[in-house]
Structure formats: C-alpha cells, structure tokens
C-alpha cells in the first residue's frame, strides 16, 4: 500500500476501464478528479471509498455518463462513456441512495417502464419483471405502490428495476444506508447472487464493514487521487502492526498528557500509535483514547501501558483488543474518518 497516487494496468477484458481520468470544474483551484486509472473485472464487486469531497461521486458521475470528463478515457462494457454515452447507458445501471421510484404507479409498472425506456419489448419486460419480483421477495406486492413500502422494500425495488435491461455493470450508492439488519442482509445476499451470475458491481459506501464484507477489491480516494487499490485483506495486512490495543482514559486529568503518544510508541513491539479522542459539544475531549498497533502479543502490553499512564496521572478506564480494520487503513491514508 502506498500513500501516493495509484495506477493500474488495464486488462482488455475489463468490465470498467479508467485511464488518466480528469475532471476539472470551471474556476476550481484543483481537479475534482486528478488523473486516476483503474480497471474492474467482469463479475467483480468493487468498492470505491473516500471522504466527502474526495472525488468518488464525480468519478461515478463520469462512469455513468452524468458528468463529462475533462481528460482521460473511461469505458463501461467496452463502450466509451464520453464518445458514446447512449450506448454506454445500455451497458450500465444505477441504484441511487435515495428512492426515485414513481410513487403514482405500481412497482411492477416501475419495472416495466424502465425496461421500455431501454428498448425491451413488452413481453420480455413482463417476464423479467415477474422473475425479479420473485427474486427480490416481492412477488405478492407487484401491484402495490412504492409509498406503501419500507426503506428496505423500496431498495429491493430499485435494484430490481435497475436489472430490467440486464446491465453488465451495476452502480450502487450507499446500498444499505438506513436499512435494518434483516433488510441489509437480504440486500447483501441478492448482491452476492448477482455477482455469482457475472454482473459487475461498483458500490460507494460509508459502511466499512459492508465494503470489507462484499467487495473483492476496494479503491480509496482522497483529493481527487486514488491512494490505494487492493483486496480488503491485503490493505489491512499492509498496516503496521498485526494486532491493536485500544486504551481509554479519563480526559479531565490532562496534566501529563504531553508526549504521551511518543512514550507509548517506545513500549516493546509497538509500531504505531494514534489518538482517537472523542469531542464533546464544547469541543473538549470527553475521554482520551489511543490505539496502539502492535507487532507482537498485544495483551502483554496492558500492564506496562497501565503503569506508564499511572506515572502520568492518567487512569486507565478501558482496554480493547483487536486487529487492524479497513477503517484503520482509511484513516491511515486520509488522516480522517469516513463517517
């Protein structure tokens, strides 16, 4: 993993191919997307992560023909999204974060109208609608209108609608935001089924667990550049430290906090230390939390860490053992949390 911009060779069989893609808005001081390159294989689940303003929304906008690139080239299903956007839209579909279903008609008609827009015959559209309603657990709700549906049910309808013209690549923006756990697991299972059928999935999400669970590979963007691109497992293994030790202390006694991180870094087997302070409404820390990335046996560090804190007048109030996560990778690369 590198903190610099990442580029990648473009296989000829890629479902999505991005080469030197740039987007610069008029009067903007910097590029919104700054020369990124990557490829997504057919049947792959690819997660695109980044804080607000990182450039991921603009990137997806260019790949789905809603935003015209300033420079570079991108293809979806082998079709150039800038020079042939109409044909490219036939190869892709988008599931937005917020419902844009037509609330005045039934969900079955939402599906068939979408198919008609993409040139699917009425007979084929009706057949596909029934198949998708069955697949997404909506067979008995086909005549209901969307305003009667829960958030999870509406999300299922939007994914089914996007599949009506049999796209090669499906883009999903925050696919399970706001869903209860059962609805989230249902959507995850359907997405896995689509992957098994060879549909390429590109998702943007703020849920690191979702990205680590679903994505074959993830790309992390910030300031318009692609900072890292690999499998979640490889990215997590690339962080310093094979385990983590999270220490929580009361924040009201701060007399000897100066130099604390440096002192903790000198404990045996500690490879990196970062602060995880939570801020109260007045901007002051509610508690002092630090995470140690440890190359050896993390539990053996609890006693010496507690002694070091006590020597500084800090009382240890919590200890949590773990392993580096995808969110740790994100913070390491961008210096900020995704949430």
With residue 172 as reference, give the H or E element that holds it: strand 169-173
Task: Please give the torsion angle defined by the CA atoms of residues 167, 50, 7 and 21, in that order, rounded to the nearest 10 degrees.
Answer: 60
- Distance (Å, rounded) from C-alpha 171 to C-alpha 95? 6
Structural domains in the chain, CATH included, are: 16-236 (3.40.50.300), 240-323 (3.30.70.1380)
DSSP code for 337: -
- Distance (Å, rounded) from C-alpha 264 to C-alpha 104? 61
Q: How many CA atoms lie within 13 A of 118 on its CB side?
A: 22
HEC readout, 198-267? CCEEEEECCCHHHHHHHCCEEEEEECCEEEEEECHHHHHHCCCCCEEEEEEEECCCCCCCCCHHHHHHCC
Name 199's Cβ contacts closer than 8 Å, sequence gap at least 6.
43, 163, 167, 168, 169, 170
Cα 64–Cα 66–Cα 71 angle in degrees, nearest 5: 85
φ, ψ at 251 (rounded to 5°): -90, -10
What confidence tens digit (pLDDT) does each residue in 244-298 have?
899 998 766 554 566 889 999 999 999 889 888 654 444 555 678 999 989 888 8
Tell me the mean pLDDT per 10 residues along the chain, length 339: 53 86 94 98 96 93 98 98 97 95 97 97 98 96 94 95 98 92 94 96 93 96 96 87 86 64 93 74 67 88 93 90 87 73
Q: Which two tokens stand for residue 275?
A: 């602060």
- The per-residue pLDDT for 85 is 98
- The per-residue pLDDT for 256 is 57
Q: Is 116 helix (H, G, I), strand (E, B) or coil?
A: helix
- The per-residue pLDDT for 278 is 56
- The per-residue pLDDT for 212 is 94
Cα distances (Å, whole numbers) of residue 143 to 63, 98, 152, 187: 34, 22, 17, 21
Name 153's Cβ contacts closer than 8 Å, sequence gap at least 6.
138, 141, 183
- The per-residue pLDDT for 288 is 87
Name 307's Cβ contacts closer than 8 Å, sequence gap at least 6.
none
What confidence tens digit (pLDDT) does each residue in 205-239 have?
988 999 999 999 999 999 999 999 999 999 988 88
């Amino acid at each position: 993993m590198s903190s610099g911009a990442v580029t990648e060779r473009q296989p000829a069989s890629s479902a999505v191919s991005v080469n030197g893609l740039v987007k610069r808005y008029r009067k903007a001081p910097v590029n919104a997307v700054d020369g990124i390159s990557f490829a997504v294989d057919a049947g792959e689940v690819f997660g695109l992560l980044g804080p607000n303003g990182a450039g991921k929304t603009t990137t997806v906008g260019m790949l789905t023909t809603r935003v015209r690139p300033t420079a570079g080239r991108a293809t979806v299903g082998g079709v150039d999204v800038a020079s042939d956007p109409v044909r490219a839209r036939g190869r892709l579909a988008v599931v937005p974060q917020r419902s844009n279903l037509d609330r005045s008609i039934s969900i079955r008609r939402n599906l068939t109208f979408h198919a008609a827009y993409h040139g699917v015959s009425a007979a084929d559209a009706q057949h596909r609608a029934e198949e998708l309603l069955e697949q997404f657990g909506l067979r008995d709700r086909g005549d209901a209108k969307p305003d009667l549906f829960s958030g999870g049910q509406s999300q299922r309808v939007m994914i089914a609608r996007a599949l009506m013209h049999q796209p090669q690549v499906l883009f999903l923006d925050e696919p399970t935001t706001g869903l209860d756990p059962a609805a989230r697991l249902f959507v995850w299972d359907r997405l896995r089924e689509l992957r098994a059928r060879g549909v390429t999935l590109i998702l943007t999400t703020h849920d690191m667990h979702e990205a680590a669970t679903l994505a074959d590979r993830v790309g992390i963007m910030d300031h318009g550049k692609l900072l890292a691109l690999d499998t979640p497992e490889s990215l997590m293994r690339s962080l310093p430290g094979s385990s983590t030790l999270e220490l929580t202390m009361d924040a009201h006694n701060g007399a000897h906090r100066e130099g604390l991180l440096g002192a903790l870094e000198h404990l045996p087997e500690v490879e990196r230390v970062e602060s995880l302070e939570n801020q109260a409404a007045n901007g002051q820390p509610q508690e002092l939390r630090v995470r140690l990335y440890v190359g050896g046996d993390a539990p053996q560090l609890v006693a010496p860490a507690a002694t070091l804190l006590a020597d500084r007048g800090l009382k240890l109030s919590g200890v949590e053992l773990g392993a580096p996560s995808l969110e740790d990778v994100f913070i390491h690369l961008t210096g900020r949390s995704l949430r």
